[in-house]
């Protein structure tokens, strides 16, 4: 549970950093805020992996969560278009993350033990 909270914070930090870049166009000092957010996001992502979450799952959820959140926030905050193609892309990202997550879990129906013949 703790790893997922940290991952959520890593995603949020990355999204805040990305959105800050849009504001930094008019206010140069906001680049510093964006940089700090990105550093925090990577530190938190590192912590998620220390908690035992597989790299593929942690990075996949972090990256896709950032892309989806940024797309939705940019539509809400900046009026950027959120058309059918963009929504379909978001759905495909979610499906891909689901596949990666399912592939990371061991198949409990199979016996993964290896028998060694006596010598």
Which pLDDT score is estimated for 4?
Answer: 93
Q: How many domains does the chain have?
A: 1
Which pLDDT score is estimated for 56?
Answer: 85
Q: Which of 108, 104, 11 shows the shortest CA–CA distance to 53?
A: 104
Which pLDDT score is estimated for 88?
Answer: 95
- Residue 89 placed within a domain: yes
Cβ-count burial 14-29 (b if 16+ within 10 Å, e if not): bbbbbbbbbebeeeee
- Residue 81 placed within a domain: yes
Domain that holds residue 18: 2-104
SS3 36: helix
Which pLDDT score is estimated for 114?
Answer: 57
pTM attached to this predicted model: 0.80
Which pLDDT score is estimated for 116?
Answer: 67
- Residue 54 placed within a domain: yes
CA–CA distance, 91 with 83 (Å, rounded to integer): 12
- Residue 37 placed within a domain: yes
Residues of the chain with pLDDT under 50: none
Task: Enter the tokens of residue 29.
Answer: 């000092």
Q: Which of 33, 54, 42, 68 shows the shortest CA–CA distance to 105?
A: 54
Look up tokens 């997922």; give the residue: 4
């Amino acid at each position: 549970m703790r790893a997922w909270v940290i991952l959520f914070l890593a995603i949020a930090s990355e999204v805040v950093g990305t959105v800050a870049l849009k504001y930094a166009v008019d206010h140069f000092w906001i680049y510093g805020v964006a940089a700090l957010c990105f550093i925090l996001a990577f530190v938190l992502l590192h912590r998620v992996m220390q908690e035992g979450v597989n790299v593929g799952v942690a990075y996949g959820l972090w990256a896709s969560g950032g892309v989806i959140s940024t797309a939705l926030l940019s539509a809400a905050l900046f009026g950027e278009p959120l058309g059918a193609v963009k929504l379909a892309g978001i759905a495909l990202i979610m499906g891909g993350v689901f596949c990666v997550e399912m592939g990371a879990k061991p198949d409990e129906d199979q016996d993964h033990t290896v028998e060694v013949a006596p010598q």
